[in-house]
Chains A and B, each alone.
Chain A
Amino acid sequence: MRRRTLFESSPLGTLRREVDRLFHRFMPPASTGEMLRHPLEHIGCSWLHAYPPTNVWEDNGTLYLEAELPGMREDEIDVTISGHELVLKGTPKPEEMPEGATPLIRERDVPSFSRVIHLPVEIDQAKITATLENGILTLTMPKTESARSRQIKVRPVAGAV
């Protein structure tokens, strides 16, 4: 693979970069060496995918949800829950840039979003906690008593052999 530098400032260099960028966008990753984290991006359809992508998992007593929101601050994120619907909203402020900054590569995108997530179990809404650490939003959602799966002990019948 040819090594590219940032400073190919001729008009042809600029055109070449632009064509490369389009190829990277529309060609499957395997042919470009590009690595993409979300499935539809390689056909230029990241907008089809709900944003932000989330991972949801559970243990016996708690449902967990996390989302990657790099660059966002606590006061830009709004989490509401009503019944089985969880709504994640984000309204990021534009990033502060030094004066005279000229973009050479732009891949990052911090869009405003609103995503509704259906919760599969009954949640004790008063006990939900949300934390934001190193760009990861984590919701810890304790299940209600009735939603917890109960383990039933199997006892031998008295007198049975």
Chain B
Amino acid sequence: MSNRQIEVNRTGSGAPERERERERVSGRWSYRPRVDVYDVNDELLVLADVPGAHPEKIDVQFDDGVLRIHAHVEPRQPAETAFIDHEYGIGDFDREIEIGDIIDPDKVDAEMKHGVLRITLPKSAAAKPRRIPVKQKK
């Protein structure tokens, strides 16, 4: 989280240049995927847009209350491609989401579908909602 560097990178070689930003996470430049996080009763559900990433090139870690997503994206154009229109950059995705110590780290599960990473994080027993039965006093 510390040492995060942002730069404006000029893309395009020949095409009208457009500005974009990316950030350096642990020494590497990468993009920040958009995420949704939902609280679903006994678990948290994280959806992350990682278009272009192959399922086997995705690394999901949960450690010390932090969910880390790294998705490697292979270039899809030959190097030195002269784009006619260049509206977005292509590269790896990285994101850290502070969840807290409410998750059972052994039960975190992730799957990829249509370029969206879907991570389920079951809550630990202590964090699950509990219904307290109300007893009728006789």
Contacts and interface: CB of A to CB of B under 8 A. Distances in A.
B59 interface: no
A17 to B, nearest CB: 12
Given A57-B84, A71-B116, A101 B4 contact: no
Contacts of B85: 54-56
Interface string A22-65: 00000001100111111100100000011001111110000110
Contact of B51 (A58, A69, A100): A69
Given A35-B32, A98-B45, A136-B52, A104 B83 contact: no
A101 B39 contact: yes
A134 interface: yes
Nearest to B52: A136
B49 A135 contact: yes
Interface residues of A, number: 52
B40 A70 contact: no
Contacts of A102: 38-40
Contact of B116 (A6, A7, A33, A70): A70
A68 B115 CA distance: 9
Contacts of B55: 134
A73 interface: yes
Q: Give the size category of B's interface with A.
A: 35 or more
Contacts of A98: 38, 40-41, 45
Contact of A35 (B23, B38, B102): B23
A108 B47 contact: yes
A48 B16 CA distance: 18
A50 B41 CA distance: 38
Contacts of A35: 6, 21-23, 31-32
Interface of B: 1-2, 4, 6, 18-23, 31-32, 34-41, 44-45, 47, 49-55, 65, 76-77, 81-90, 97-100, 102, 112, 114-116
Given A6-B100, A35-B6, A101-B38, 12 more contacts: A6-B37, A33-B4, A34-B32, A35-B21, A37-B21, A37-B89, A63-B84, A68-B52, A107-B34, A132-B114, A135-B114, A136-B76
